[in-house]
């Protein structure tokens, strides 16, 4: 079998302007999340204008947060060239940084607007998963955020032949265009690597479907959606992160930051579920829906 290194284009050119697919997927994810938020907002009494205003304010802050979080854990790369911190086109965003800034900004915004903070998080939580699922496809076109070489490696040398590596991916019915683009230059040389972008994207889409179903049952309380998001996303991210080759670490400890944040997020999510039922006494989600 012939194996050809021929990466897909990661951008399109319109005149002198290069538009990267990564940014397009993020934009598409934001638009879908915004649409879903506005539609659900109509059902629980939050005006679409408030949601739109919040997105306009919080989105740029979240992107900045994603960048600064990444820079903080890769400081040695940026300490000598501070201007490169804001070179967003060079890549380097961390979703956990975006989420932390988004939550803090949303809290301040809801206080200003006199909105129910947890109710607003209920609106955006499913959209988070959609946006993240789509954003991972930007990583695919950039040939980044992938996992280890298929079959592992010994002293940097892949354990399996290229034919066996490809066969491993094909047995799961993964489309050829994905398999072809996972033949890339990585830590173990030119080989086939785990498409962790795909694993996380599918995990997020399944979580999104589950959240949509749950919020039309009487199983959850108002304010539970963000807890479900934290638990679902973090469980998947914890295990998928273990396969990644480009993880951020706490210094030279060998401890992956995303896995630590995932554990904390799971605990916070579980805590919110308990507090919504014991301390906050939140109503059933179905009971906050506006009857049509």
- 177 within some domain: no
What is the percent of the chain with per-residue pLDDT over 70, rounded to a whole number? 99
- 4 within some domain: no
- 24 within some domain: yes
pLDDT in tens, 223-266: 999 999 999 999 999 999 999 999 999 999 999 999 999 999 99
| Least confident interval from 11-25, 82-96, 130-144, 163-177 | 82-96
CB 188 within 8 A of CB 157: yes
pLDDT in tens, 132-156: 999 999 999 999 999 999 999 999 9
Residue 87: the pLDDT is: 85
- 6 within some domain: no
- 162 within some domain: no
Query: What's the average model confidence in pLDDT over 23-40?
Result: 95
- 183 within some domain: no
Mean pLDDT of the chain: 95
Residue 292: the pLDDT is: 46
> What domain range is 235 assigned to?
11-147+195-288
Predicted TM-score (pTM) of the model is: 0.95
Q: Which of 129, 125, 116 is nearest to 50 (CA)?
A: 116
**φ and ψ at 5, to 5 degrees?**
-85, 100
Q: pLDDT-derived band of residue 291, with 50, 70 and 90 as boundaries? A: low
d(CA 29, CA 27): 5
- 2 within some domain: no
Tell whether the model's pLDDT for residue 204 goes beyond 50: yes
Number of structural domains in the chain: 1
- 180 within some domain: no
Strand partners, 18: 13
Tell whether the model's pLDDT for residue 129 goes beyond 80: yes
CA-to-CA separations, 213 to 204, 209, 217, in angstroms, rounded: 14, 6, 7
């Amino acid at each position: 079998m012939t194996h050809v290194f021929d990466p897909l284009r990661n951008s399109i050119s319109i005149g002198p302007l290069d538009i990267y697919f990564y940014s397009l997927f993020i934009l598409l994810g934001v638009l879908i999340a915004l649409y879903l938020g506005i539609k659900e907002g109509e059902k629980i009494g939050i005006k679409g204008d408030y949601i739109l205003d919040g997105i306009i304010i919080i989105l740029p802050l979240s992107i900045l947060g994603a960048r600064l979080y990444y820079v903080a854990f890769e400081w040695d790369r940026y300490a000598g060239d501070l201007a490169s911190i804001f070179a967003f086109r060079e890549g380097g965003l961390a979703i956990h940084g975006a989420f932390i800034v988004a939550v803090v900004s949303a809290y301040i915004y809801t206080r200003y607007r006199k909105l129910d903070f947890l109710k607003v998080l209920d609106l955006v939580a499913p959209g988070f998963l959609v946006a993240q699922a789509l954003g991972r496809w930007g990583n695919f076109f950039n040939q980044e955020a992938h996992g280890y070489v298929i079959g592992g490696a010994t002293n940097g040398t892949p354990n399996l032949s290229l034919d066996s590596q490809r066969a491993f991916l094909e047995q799961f019915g993964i489309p050829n265009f994905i398999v072809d683009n996972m033949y890339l230059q990585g830590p173990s040389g030119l080989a086939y690597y785990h498409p962790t972008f795909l694993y996380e994207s599918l995990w997020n889409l399944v979580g999104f479907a589950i959240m949509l179903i749950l919020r039309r049952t009487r199983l959850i309380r108002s304010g539970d959606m963000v807890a479900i998001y934290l638990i679902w996303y973090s469980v998947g991210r914890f295990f998928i992160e273990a396969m990644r080759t480009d993880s951020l670490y706490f210094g030279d400890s060998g401890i992956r930051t995303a896995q630590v944040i995932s554990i904390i997020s799971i605990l916070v999510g579980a805590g919110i579920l308990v507090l919504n039922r014991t301390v906050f006494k939140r109503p059933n989600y179905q009971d906050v829906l506006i009857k049509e």
